[in-house]
Amino acid sequence: MRIRRIGAAERPALSLPLQAYAFDRTPMPPGELEDLRKHARYSEGNVTLVAEVDAEAVAVASAIPMRQNVRGRVYPMAGVGGVATHPLARRQGHVRALLTRLLGEARDAGHVVSALYPFRPSFYERFGYVGLPQTGTVTFSPADLAGLLAHDLPGTVAVERIKDGYDSYRALFERLLADRHGFATLPEYRAVRLRDDDEHWLATARVDDEVVGAVTYRISGHAGTLQADHLLATGPLGRALLLGFFARHVDQVATVEATVAPDERPELWATDLGTVTETRARFPENAPMGRVLSLDALAGLPVGPGRVAVEVVDDPFVAGRYLLDGTGGALSVERGQAVGAASVPASSIPTATLTAAGLSGLVYGVLDPDDLVVRGLGRVPRDAARQLRTLWTRCVPYLAVGF
Ligand SMILES: CC(C)(COP(=O)(O)OP(=O)(O)OC[C@H]1O[C@@H](n2cnc3c(N)ncnc32)[C@H](O)[C@@H]1OP(=O)(O)O)[C@@H](O)C(=O)NCCC(=O)NCCS
């Protein structure tokens, strides 16, 4: 088996058929396959690796160069997708080899973290990924928002097709990327598909020409549903302006559905607002997962004042010994400090052993050190747990983009 990186010209013949077989309704009429090929430009900057046996492509995996906010800092992130093996070549280790190569290349190219949407989380946990929280869908009646219209809010809302408002929508996404833990953005060549498909309305809330909220949506029909995507806002005013806009659909649609952050509480948005918020995290709508590809590159990350030695095990990318110190409020990472060596007396430094998934759970703020112990993701004595808990406090990442 040989692993090879392929360029855009080879994708239609090599990777697309494997991915279409795995993820689409097949066999496809010739026209549909042609449509898929036309969309190739939205993958132009992806890194695609294929595994070939006897010059035949049998497995494929791609990485999309994205960016993600981790605890307030924005890092290059490898979004992994399109992972598929020909049915006759499955369970022969092809994807294990491909993913190991893909993530190694991504790490060497400067990607500090990686994220994906798994078909089965346990499959990717063995590749160092940990579950991140799923976004929710809130459903409510626009009639319940009537109270919001009574307030004269200092701002305006404009509505247009996404192809016309794409630039301001993208700019808001970029702004939220800088602010919100877990937020990620697609590269421009991929993101513009939303604009080019032009299948959504865009409502944009502004205060003095500054965009403070935006949401893309579709309407299913009269008396139907206003289906909104992520309700993006810089704060309560932007959100209230968008909700006020939804309220104006009271005689047009029966319900509004919107995607919200995992820690959002829509029942607090307005008095008398009746909401149902659902989170689905089961096949095929599994929650996303993320992993750290380089712990050294996280030096400088805003952290709490913990000091701890960790040994990361069983991982080709982050395995090793590290001394982590957050005393100054920014993470210091020292490599290769063998605990027990003269500079690191075993007695003075609490020490933990972590898998890559366990480490990733702490960095992303989704697991407590005690979770690692009960889930088999690490050995964390009490004193080390205390330090790790202070170093990386719990926090909720909001991954608002699919890929
Ligand atoms: C999932 C899929 C990509 C796996 O590819 P593969 O080439 O068969 O995987 P490998 O043989 O390299 O297996 C890697 C590891 O996962 C295990 N594994 C393989 N398929 C698995 C499955 N369905 N569930 C759980 N574990 C699985 C293997 O035993 C192996 O473990 P090991 O390395 O510890 O021995 C392939 O079955 C496929 O194309 N499925 C349909 C498309 C899909 O779901 N893609 C994933 C999208 S996120």
Mean pLDDT by 10 residues, the chain (403 residues): 94 92 90 81 95 97 98 98 98 98 98 97 97 98 93 95 97 96 97 97 97 98 97 97 97 98 97 97 95 98 96 97 96 78 66 98 98 98 98 97 82
- The one-character DSSP state at 221 is S
In the chain, where the domains are located: 2-116, 136-278, 292-391
H or E segment and range at residue 121: helix 121-125
Measure 108 CA to ligand 1 centroid, in angstroms.
24
Name the CATH superfamily housing domain 136-278: Gcn5-related N-acetyltransferase (GNAT) (3.40.630.30)
**In this structure, are strands 56-70 and 351-355 parallel, antiparallel, or unpaired?**
unpaired
What pLDDT sits at residue 346?
57
CB of 86 closer than 6 angstroms to any ligand 1 atom: no
**292-391 maps to which CATH number?**
3.30.1050.10
- The one-character DSSP state at 175 is H
Atom from ligand 1 closest to the CA of residue 51: 7
What pLDDT sits at residue 100?
98
Distance separating alpha carbons of residues 308 and 326, to the nearest angstrom: 9
What pLDDT sits at residue 28?
85
Helix axes 11-23, 30-38, angle to 10 degrees: 120
What three-state secondary structure class fits 162?
helix
Contact between 273 and 266 under an 8 Å Cβ cutoff? The reply is: yes
Measure 27 CA to ligand 1 centroid, in angstroms.
22
β-partners of residue 139 are 257, 276
Select from 3, 80, 83, 92 the residue to mutate for testing ligand 1; criterion: most ligand atoms less than 8 Å from CB.
Answer: 83
CB of 66 closer than 6 angstroms to any ligand 1 atom: no
What pLDDT sits at residue 40?
87
Which residue from 169, 163, 224 is spatially nearest to 197, judged by alpha carbons? 163
Question: Do 136-278 and 292-391 fold alike per CATH?
Answer: no
Select from 80, 91, 315 the residue to mutate for testing ligand 1; criterion: most ligand atoms less than 8 Å from CB.
Answer: 91
Distance separating alpha carbons of residues 207 and 102, to the nearest angstrom: 44
Measure 125 CA to ligand 1 centroid, in angstroms.
12
CB of 96 closer than 6 angstroms to any ligand 1 atom: yes
Distance separating alpha carbons of residues 30 and 38, to the nearest angstrom: 13
Contact between 34 and 82 under an 8 Å Cβ cutoff? The reply is: no
Distance separating alpha carbons of residues 221 and 219, to the nearest angstrom: 6
CA angle (59, 65, 70) in 5-degree steps: 120
DSSP 312-331: EES-TTT-EEEEEE-TTSB-
What pLDDT sits at residue 403?
77
CB of 22 closer than 6 angstroms to any ligand 1 atom: yes
Measure 120 CA to ligand 1 centroid, in angstroms.
9
CB of 84 closer than 6 angstroms to any ligand 1 atom: yes
Distance separating alpha carbons of residues 339 and 271, to the nearest angstrom: 56
Atom from ligand 1 closest to the CA of residue 126: 34
Contact between 321 and 335 under an 8 Å Cβ cutoff? The reply is: yes
Architecture of the domain whose range is 2-116: 3-Layer(aba) Sandwich (3.40)
